[in-house]
Structure formats: structure tokens, C-alpha cells
Amino acid sequence: MLLEGKTGIVFGVANKRSLAWAIARRAAEEGARIALTYQGERLEENARELAATLKDPLVLPCDVTRDEDIATVFSTVKSEFGSLDFVVHGIAYALREELEGEFLNTSREGYRVAQDVSVYSLTAIAREAAPLMEGRGGSILTLTYLGGERVIPGYNVMGIAKAALDMSMRYLAENLGARGIRVNAISAGPVKTLASAGIGGFSKILEHMRNHAPLRRNIDQSEVADAALFLLSNMSRGVTGEILHVDCGYNIMGM
Ligand code: NAP
């Protein structure tokens, strides 16, 4: 039980296919008590149904574009849990029209929204989480994608967001390291979820990876969850500011 007696908060559970849900479930199996957040009433039922399968969960609304929502989440977690050992940031959003056609046509508003929801939220969350994690060897984990390191046609403005997310993760790792808090990312290979369904040509991305990754297959959510368990637990106590690729090795390929 790698997370026995630990508490964590997981942002980004939309449904049972969400990477954040796979991580939440895996962490709970290893003994952690989990708080889940959902974005709006639309997803509350889903989040509550999933959370009901966990032991003693906390389920809270949070739209990460609202500072007051983030503050309420952490004050509730403080009063219910007392302290916090880990945070999972599994949130991304871009306007649908930005994920098709050319990056060249990115609108100012599309750029702003992608950065606000998918990138700034990590910093806003880390700032609120840090006081609850101090002295506990806390771990913060975000989910990124290769489209922030290399050009993946169609990923467009979200690629720019992931590049900024990767650097935010590293700056936060430096800032919070002195307080014993680690910040890392998993770069997941493509997986069919609600968010990825909005990416133009996503089935082509899946097929390309299946044919060209060293392991010649796609990944699934459970592989991300197992890697997350490593990064959330004491097993990775010497690791911070790192991007761990869970992508069947695809990122090493030149062609
Ligand atoms: P997902 O299940 O759709 O999760 C994305 C989550 O972000 C949803 O719960 C979504 O809620 C939430 N979200 C969007 N806007 C929000 C806001 N303003 N406030 C709070 N929550 C908000 O898809 P996923 O694929 O698991 O994505 C999780 C993370 O993994 C993302 O960062 C994604 O980029 C990353 N990732 C995914 C893949 C992949 O192939 N699936 C690969 C690499 C990295 P709503 O549904 O309400 O918008």
C-alpha cells in the first residue's frame, strides 16, 4: 500500500475514461483518501457515481478559471483532511475550432482560453496546495503531451499550452523544492477520452503511434495510473521537475 494514510486531490475527472479517474482509482487502491473535483452541474452526477466506488471520498465543484472555486476547494480539503499529500492536475481545454485547421489561424481568445484553463490552473492550484503539503513531502502531478515538444498537426494551440505547462511544472518544481514539495508531469501517449475526441484527426494519431512506437501499440489509462502511483508516492522521492513519457517509447523516434 504505497499511499496508505495519505490524502490527495484529483482535478479533471469527467467520466470513467478520464486519465484523472484512472489515477484516482489507482491511488485509492493503494490506500489514499481522495477528493475529486468536477467542473459544473453537467458532470456532477458522473463524478458522484464514480466517487461512490471509493472509500470516504470528498466530491467538490471547481471551475479552474474561477479563483474563488479553487480557494473553496482547498479550504474544504483543509477542514476535512487537515493536510494534503498529493495533487493530480488532469485538466485541459481548448475551443473546438482551434483544434482543426491550421495553427496559423489561432484566435486571440482561443489562445487565452487554452492557456488559462490548461496552464495557469496548475500554478493557481499549486499555490493553494503548498501550505497544506508543507513538511509532508508532497507531490504535484500534471498531465502533458508530446505536442508541447514536437509538432503534432491538428494539436495546434494545445501544443503551445502543453509547452507552457511543461515549463510551469519546472518553475514550480524549483519554487516548491525548498519546501520539500515535488512537481512532475506524465506525458501520456494518445488515449481515447472526452478531451481527445475534440482533436482533429485523433484516430490517425492513434494509428500512427500503434504502427511506429517501439512497443508497436497504444497505451491505456491503467499504464498512466501506474506511472502516476510512482510519482505520487515516496518511491519517486528523488524526482522533481521531470516529464515521464508513458507512450510505449514513441517520443524517442525520429521517423
Ligand atoms: P478528459 O477526461 O476530458 O479530462 C479533461 C478534464 O478537464 C475534464 O474533466 C474537463 O471537464 C476538465 N476541464 C476542462 N475545463 C475545465 C475547467 N475550466 N475547470 C475544471 N475542469 C476543467 O480527458 P483526458 O484525456 O483524461 O485529459 C486529462 C489530461 O490528460 C489533459 O491535460 C490532457 O491534455 C492530458 N492528456 C491526454 C491525452 C489523451 O490522449 N487523452 C494524452 C496526453 C495528455 P469538462 O469535461 O467539464 O470540460
Spacing, Cα 231 to ligand 1 middle (Å): 19
Confidence bin at 116 (pLDDT 50/70/90): very high
Neighbours of 10 (CB within 10 A): 27
Q: How far apart are the first and last CA of the chain?
A: 41
Contacts of 179 (CB under 8 A, 6+ apart): 130, 133, 134
In this predicted structure, the answer to whether residue 201 has a pLDDT above a threshold of 90 is no
Specify the CATH architecture of the domain 7-252: 3-Layer(aba) Sandwich (3.40)
Average pLDDT over residues 199-203: 86
Closest ligand 1 atom to residue 20 Cα is 26
Percent of the chain with pLDDT over 70: 100
| pTM of the predicted structure, to 2 decimals | 0.98
Confidence bin at 197 (pLDDT 50/70/90): confident
Give me the amino acid identity at 162. Answer: K
202-211: list long-range contacts, CB under 8 Å, 24+ apart: 202/154, 205/152, 205/154, 209/247, 209/248, 209/250
Closest ligand 1 atom to residue 15 Cα is 2
Mean pLDDT of the chain: 96
User: How are the residues of the chain apportioned to helix, strand and coil, as percentages rounded to the nearest 5?
Assistant: 50, 15, 35
In this predicted structure, the answer to whether residue 85 has a pLDDT above a threshold of 90 is yes
Amino acid 198: pLDDT:
84
Confidence bin at 17 (pLDDT 50/70/90): very high
Q: Classify the C-alpha dihedral 235-130-60-109 as positive or negative.
A: negative
Q: Which residues are catalytic?
A: 145, 155
Confidence bin at 43 (pLDDT 50/70/90): confident
In this predicted structure, the answer to whether residue 200 has a pLDDT above a threshold of 80 is no
Lining residues, ligand 1, CB within 6 Å: 12-14, 18-20, 39, 43, 62-65, 90-93, 117, 143-145, 188, 190-191, 193-196
CA distance 3 to 86: 10
Amino acid 41: pLDDT:
82
